[in-house]
Amino acid sequence: MSFDPVFTFGTIAAAALIGLGVSNAIDGTSSRSRVPAAAAELVTLAPGSFDHPQPGEFLRDNHPAPAPVAKETIETPLEIMKFQVTASDYDRCVLDGACKPADANLAGYVPVTGVSFNDAQAYASWLSAKTGEAWRLPTDVEWAYAARERFRADIEAGDGDPADPAKRWLAQYRNEAALGRGPDPEPRSLGAFGANSKGVEDVAGNVWEWTSTCYAHATISSDGARVASSIANCGVHVVEGFHRTYMSNFIRDGKSGGCAVGTPPDNLGFRLVHDHGGFLRTALRRLGLT
């Protein structure tokens, strides 16, 4: 009896993920023969640099301050799903027992919504085990790079006034109202919001997307030139959409609360990044074996 070395490699990688709570092993078929629809269409972005407003809460001299802007670099080609993960894709993970059912009762080729950060992570682990490849949520920087002209950072309100914090809240409200966003709760079919200049579909539509970036509470130096200190809270993650906001990991409905900045998201969904050849390496790193 002979063994396919590619299959054996994928099986070992899947076994490593069992330690992460994934029970699905590679089923022996081609990694692309049963891949979910959203994973079959990817957009590959060339490396590049861009100026990026940093995510999180920033204080200077003990009162709120605008986010600093940093030069960020994507050093290698970035492969990201062209569309958000669909309800039918997600249901396959549910049927395999690796994902919890989404809160939203949707089916077919519409984005899955009513899912938390934890749900998105479970799906990424399931898809990685199913395909023998590495899939993960994008970072805030990667999502912004893919969004390009559709990226919008936090709704800012300028420097805070320690004597009258209400002024900043009112300024934030006015800035958001000026964007003209109205309620839009019904998820639409894939492609309804069109492609951006990089060919990524439905960016900043009415489905906000989870990222892997933790919420940060940071202090800026008095001269505003640098971040003096930063504390990450990984119980809350960055969510990207019409504007950037922050939600607690277990939240499935953005309107129910969490840690939202500005008007809560209409819907919570996600898309994933594909890491070339990094499946086993990623699994072993998470297990502390590399």
Per residue in 66-85, pLDDT (tens digit) is 888 999 999 999 999 999 99
Residues 217-239 have a mean pLDDT of 89
Dihedral of alpha carbons 69, 71, 75, 76, sign? positive
Distance CA 266, CA 242 (A): 10
Distance CA 44, CA 142 (A): 12
Minimum mean pLDDT among 87-91, 168-172, 283-287: which range? 283-287
Note the pLDDT of residue 153. Answer: 85
Nearest to residue 62, comparing CAs of 159, 199, 204, 171? 159
Dihedral of alpha carbons 118, 124, 126, 128, sign? negative
The count of domains in the chain is 1
User: Comparing 64 with 261, which gets the higher pLDDT?
Assistant: 64
Place of tokens 């950037």: 244
pLDDT tens digits along 257-275: 655 556 788 899 999 999 9
At 165, is the pLDDT very low, low, confident or very high (cuts 50, 70, 90)? Answer: low
Note the pLDDT of residue 276. Answer: 74
Residue type (1 letter), 18 = I
User: Comparing 195 with 40, which gets the higher pLDDT?
Assistant: 195
Note the pLDDT of residue 60. Answer: 86
b/e sequence 221-253, b meaning 16+ C-beta within 10 Å: eeeeeebeeeeeeeebbbbbbbbbbbbbbebbb
At 247, is the pLDDT very low, low, confident or very high (cuts 50, 70, 90)? Answer: very high
101, pLDDT greater than 90: yes
Measured at the CA of 45, the angle between CA 79 and CA 33, to 5 degrees, comes to 30
Distance CA 47, CA 50 (A): 10
3-state secondary structure of 240: strand
CATH number at residue 217: 3.90.1580
State the burial class of residue 89 (Cβ atoms within 10 Å of its Cβ: 0-12, 13-18, 19+): buried
At residue 147, φ and ψ (nearest 5 deg) are: -75, -30
Nearest to residue 128, comparing CAs of 8, 27, 26, 40? 26
By the 8 A CB rule, do 249 and 114 touch? no
- Which residues constitute the domain of residue 145? 5-286
At 188, is the pLDDT very low, low, confident or very high (cuts 50, 70, 90)? Answer: very high
